[in-house]
Amino acid sequence: MVPKKIEEAFSEQIKHELESAYIYLSMAAYFDAEGFEGMGRWMRAQVQEEVTHAMRFYKHIIERGGHVKLHPLAMPQQDWQLPLAAFEAAYKHEQFITAKIDDLVKLAQAEGDHASRTLLQWFVDEQVEEEASTSKVVQELKLVGNEGRGILMIDRELGARTFVLAPDLAALYAQPAAAGA
């Protein structure tokens, strides 16, 4: 059975992960409207990834006999001055999420909840990547400044990103086997 405090904190984290998806969807809409197709695609892949982050917490609560309670999502920012401003906001948001994951680690330790440890370690590692990937784009955009060709090259590079569903989550979305199959 999942401890009550963990169930509540993980439900709250589902909200943060879905808010991440919502923020990145808003950024995708901004990039797509501004003609930055690659950045729009990168953000749309990030949206998918954030939803799977929420679903990792969801799966954990359900598997341990808990009840997921959903919270309202905050309205995301709709517009940015430049691609750099959007990616800076994304990097800052990832730092916020890292702090939330660190709080969850402390809570799981205080509750002596060893079952949450593996899940949270996955998120600790993931946040290193999340911060690194957004910060890398910020650095690249800063390097090229307002140079149009440079921005377009970054846009092309980011457009190569695709979303791949992690195999350990595939069961959440797979069709149930037909009876007698």
Note the residues at the interface with ligand OFO (CB under 6 A): 17, 20, 50, 53, 94, 97, 130
Residue 141 C-beta: closest distance to ligand OFO, Å: 19
What b/e readout covers 163-175, taking b as 16+ CB neighbours within 10 angstroms? eeeeeeeeeeeee
Reduced to 3 states (helix: H, G, I; strand: E, B; else coil), residue 16 is helix
Smaller CB distance to ligand OFO: residue 20 or 151?
Answer: 20
- Give the HSE-up count for residue 62: Cα atoms under 13 Å, Cβ half-sphere: 8
Q: Which long-range contacts (CB under 8 A, 24 or more apart) does 114-122 make?
A: 115/2, 115/64, 116/6, 116/10, 116/60, 119/56, 119/57, 119/60, 122/56
Residue 19 C-beta: closest distance to ligand OFO, Å: 8
Smaller CB distance to ligand OFO: residue 111 or 126?
Answer: 126
Q: Tokens 């995708």 correspond to what residue?
A: 28
Residue 121 C-beta: closest distance to ligand OFO, Å: 15
Q: Using alpha carbons, select from 67, 77, 71, 85 the residue that is nearest to residue 142.
A: 85
Smaller CB distance to ligand OFO: residue 91 or 151?
Answer: 91
Residue 52 C-beta: closest distance to ligand OFO, Å: 9
Residue 148 C-beta: closest distance to ligand OFO, Å: 29
Smaller CB distance to ligand OFO: residue 131 or 157?
Answer: 131
Tokens of 49: 């990834």
Smaller CB distance to ligand OFO: residue 3 or 22?
Answer: 22
